[in-house]
């Protein structure tokens, strides 16, 4: 941020009076330009025990598998965003069963939230964002080719809670955790 | 938003190529200025079955009671933000026990997240933001003077799950819901 979005004056970056963190703020009109974490919202869609994954047709992590998800938009709920992203990336409109994970990524200023979702229709398809969309048995998840660590953690949490019959319990505990990048990231 | 924060050119507001929602974007440098919901994070602190509430010394809702909470900041986790706000508003550093509520407010472009928290110290005090800080037995909560509907819903969810002995179970279900303003709001 270089210029005030209200009046085009060059902004300053310092701790405003009465605050305790540095902010971009405008010396002309006084606007403080707060910057806050963004929410990524998505689903883990399940059909007859199989999990829907999308092969990314976009960067970052092109060619890796992911759960459908993306940035939450103004004017929608977390659940609406998760359903919208599932439609945009996989052309499926699942029923959201429960919130499954809330994962903070403080070094990326993001919070990732995933819902466990029941695929009420078996239909899905590739999209501009997904070069392949496919159902995977839990023991066939491509663990080495998952795009993001939040997706990996959410899938692992789900699979770890499956019963001996391979089915999920009526209600899974919420995975509430933090992911810090490894040094090599 | 009137001007590009990167190059100070007046922004346009329309659907960018390849997008499906109107955005502020810059005709000169091409930057798309996404605007996304913000996360409010806070706690429901408990000491010996009593709940810590803060009387707001700031607008909006000056003079009404609230749970400690505020905007999540870049570089922190949801939990860290909740703990920080509790310190800033009530000078108590509780131990977070579990995520208790995730409430979307689509008409305010916000998501409110509250943690159930154990007060490991009985110390607390007023602050610039709180003219009074006090512990309330569940049957003495000032229900008619609660500042925000997300706080009301979170308190109600907690109290509804107390056992006959007035104590919370080891783990409460997550309240995952949406609040739409009433017409009179
Ligand atoms: Zn300005
Ligand atoms: Zn520009």
Q: Model confidence over A108-155: pLDDT tens digits?
A: 999 999 999 999 999 999 999 999 999 999 999 999 999 999 999 999
Has residue A28 been placed in a domain? yes
Looking at residue B184, its pLDDT comes to: 53
Q: Which of A168, A166, A159 is nearest to A97 (CA)?
A: A168
Cα distance from A166 to chain B (closest Cα, Å)? Answer: 24
| ipTM confidence score | 0.95
User: What is the residue whose two structure tokens read 């810590």?
Assistant: B52
Pair (B151, B74) in one structural domain: yes
Mean local confidence (pLDDT), A50-62? 97
Looking at residue A153, its pLDDT comes to: 98
Q: What are phi and psi for residue B155, nearest 5 degrees?
A: -60, -45
Pair (A16, A76) in one structural domain: no
Cα end-to-end distance, chain B, whole Å: 25
Q: Model confidence over A71-118: pLDDT tens digits?
A: 999 999 999 999 999 999 999 999 999 999 999 999 999 999 999 999
Q: Model confidence over A7-54: pLDDT tens digits?
A: 999 999 999 888 889 999 999 999 999 999 999 999 999 999 999 999
Has residue B183 been placed in a domain? no
Beta bridge partners of A172: none
Cα distance from B107 to chain A (closest Cα, Å)? Answer: 6
Pair (B21, B80) in one structural domain: no
Looking at residue A183, its pLDDT comes to: 59
Has residue B184 been placed in a domain? no
Pair (B45, B31) in one structural domain: no
Q: Which stretch of DSSP H or E encloses residue A51?
A: strand A50-56
- The separation between CA A102 and the C-alpha centre of its own chain, rounded to angstroms, equals 9
Cβ(A54)–Cβ(A130) under 8 Å?
yes
Token code pair at residue A84: 């919208």
Q: What is the C-alpha R_g of chain B?
A: 19
- The verdict on B181 touching A (C-beta cutoff 8 Å) is no
Number of CB atoms found within 10 A of residue A6's CB: 16
Pair (B65, B97) in one structural domain: yes
Looking at residue B185, its pLDDT comes to: 46
Q: In CATH, what number is assigned to the domain containing residue A133?
A: 3.90.79.10
Pair (B88, B132) in one structural domain: yes
- The verdict on B80 touching A (C-beta cutoff 8 Å) is yes
Partner residue opposite A102 with nearest CB, options B74, B76, B99: B99
Looking at residue A185, its pLDDT comes to: 46
Pair (B50, B100) in one structural domain: yes
Identify which ligand lies nearest to the alpha carbon of A8. Answer: 1
Pair (B95, B168) in one structural domain: yes
Q: In CATH, what number is assigned to the domain containing residue A4?
A: 2.20.70.10
Pair (A62, A20) in one structural domain: no
Pair (B94, B132) in one structural domain: yes
Pair (B3, B53) in one structural domain: no
Ordered mean pLDDT values, 10 residues apiece, chain B (185 residues): 97 90 95 96 97 97 98 97 98 98 97 98 96 97 97 98 92 96 61
Print the domain residue range for B159. Answer: 38-178
The domain total for chain B is 2
Pair (B83, B153) in one structural domain: yes
């Amino acid at each position: 941020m270089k210029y005030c979005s209200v009046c085009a004056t060059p902004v300053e970056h310092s701790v405003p009076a009465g605050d305790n963190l540095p902010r971009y703020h405008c010396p002309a009109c006084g606007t403080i330009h707060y910057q806050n974490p963004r929410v990524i919202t998505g689903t883990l869609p399940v059909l007859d025990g199989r999990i829907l994954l999308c092969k990314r047709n976009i960067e970052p992590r092109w060619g890796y598998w992911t759960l459908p998800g993306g940035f939450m938009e103004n004017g929608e709920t977390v659940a609406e965003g998760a359903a919208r992203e599932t439609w945009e990336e996989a052309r499926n409109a699942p029923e959201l069963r429960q919130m499954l994970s809330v994962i903070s990524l403080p070094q990326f200023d993001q919070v990732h939230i995933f819902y466990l979702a029941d695929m009420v229709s078996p239909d899905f398809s590739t999209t501009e964002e997904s070069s392949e969309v496919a159902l995977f048995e839990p023991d066939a998840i491509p663990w080495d080719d998952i795009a993001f660590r939040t997706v990996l953690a959410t899938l692992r949490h789900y699979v770890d809670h499956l019963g001996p019959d391979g089915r999920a319990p009526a209600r899974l505990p919420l995975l509430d955790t933090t992911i810090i990048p490894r040094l090599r990231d």
